[in-house]
């Protein structure tokens, strides 16, 4: 079986979407879930992280 490359940005944005829609965020191995307003804040932090990845990649690609 060939390993498929995974774009971590896509995975993170799906997690952020779940935070906005379902108002819950869980991480593998962590028995606690963020819910409600805390989940939305985590979702916003995840989006900020992805935007930073995009800026950093764009900078290195253009350099």
Residue given tokens 């993170």 in the structure block: 12
Mean pLDDT of 7-28: 90
Structure confidence by residue, pLDDT tens digits, 40-49 = 999 999 999 9
Mean pLDDT of 22-46: 89
pTM (two decimals): 0.77
Count CB-CB contacts under 10 A for residue 19. 24
* 61: pLDDT strictly greater than 70: no
């Amino acid at each position: 079986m060939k390993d498929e490359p995974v774009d971590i940005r896509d995975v993170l944005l799906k997690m952020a979407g779940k935070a906005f829609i379902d108002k819950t965020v869980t991480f593998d191995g962590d028995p606690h879930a963020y819910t409600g307003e805390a989940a939305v804040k985590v979702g916003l932090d995840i989006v900020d992280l992805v935007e930073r990845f995009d800026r950093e990649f764009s900078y290195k690609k253009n350099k």
